[in-house]
Amino acid sequence: MTTVVVVKKGDQIAIAADSQSTFGDTRLGAGDDACWNKIFAAQGGFFSIAGSAAHDLVLQAALKKVKNLGFSDRAAIFDSFRKLHPKLKDDFFLKVDEEEDDPYESSQMTVLLANPHGIFAVYSLREVYEYQRFWGIGSGRDYAIGAMNAVYDNPDLSAADIARIGVEAGCAFDVSSSMPMTSYTLECVQARTSKSGK
């Protein structure tokens, strides 16, 4: 699994992820993985996925194939993943079955997204959540969320600092997460607007 976090603080948004891939009882660390960065840039923001390693290249390719996608708010993100779902099935052979009593077909992935509009997560049935302060996904998320909650109000810590602390906690306690980490920071769209005087 993984530890991936997003943090929004002041006019900054940060996303960070560990670097370990796990195949059953076998771990693949950054020292042996030529492509260990779990975060990719697309659609004006940064995406990271928890779940099967296959999702990474699939989602990157699908985001390029489907036109007129939007990621500015929950409704736009939901609509974008609704458009992506048939492509995932038809072009990438996604298996949509999870639980027999699920109300919808599954997209089988959990996605964390940071863009100038905010921090969001998309879950397997295309549920979209927007977060005010921070969140995490993957097997190390509980450790990461606890650590970020403990330090969030420290005025000396930036969004990137808090994200780093979250990933470090995930890597310290989750057997499926390890350092080094990758982190990206961007500016909130509200901050850009206020700085430009609009």
CA-based nearest residue to 167, from 51, 52, 7 = 7
| Cα 76 off chain centre by | 17
CA dist., res. 136 & res. 167, Å (int): 9
Helix/strand/coil for 171: helix
Instruction: Examine residue 198 and state whether it is found in any structural domain, yes or no.
Output: no
Domain count, the chain: 1
Could you tell me if residue 100 is inside a domain? yes
Q: What is the pLDDT along the chain (198 residues), one digit of tens a residue?
A: 799 999 999 999 999 999 999 988 899 999 999 999 999 999 999 999 998 888 999 999 999 999 999 999 999 999 999 999 999 999 999 888 888 788 988 899 999 999 999 999 999 999 999 999 999 999 999 999 999 999 999 999 999 999 999 999 999 999 999 999 999 999 998 755 545 554
**What is the structure's pLDDT at 197?**
52
The per-residue pLDDT for 102 is 85
| Boundaries of domain holding 26 | 4-187
Residue 67 lies in a domain: yes
196 within domain boundaries: no
Rounded CA-CA distance 33/21 in Å is 8
Confirm whether 166 is domain-assigned: yes
> What is the rounded distance in angstroms from the CA atom of residue 2 to the CA atom of residue 19?
8
Is 197 a domain residue? no
The phi and psi torsions of 98 (rounded to 5 degrees) equal -125, -100
In a domain, 81, yes or no: yes
Q: Is residue 195 part of a domain?
A: no
Local structure of 166: helix, strand or coil = helix
State what percent of residues in the chain have pLDDT above 70.
Answer: 96
CATH number for the domain spanning 102: value is 3.60.20.10
Burial of 198 (0-12, 13-18, 19+ CB in 10 A): exposed
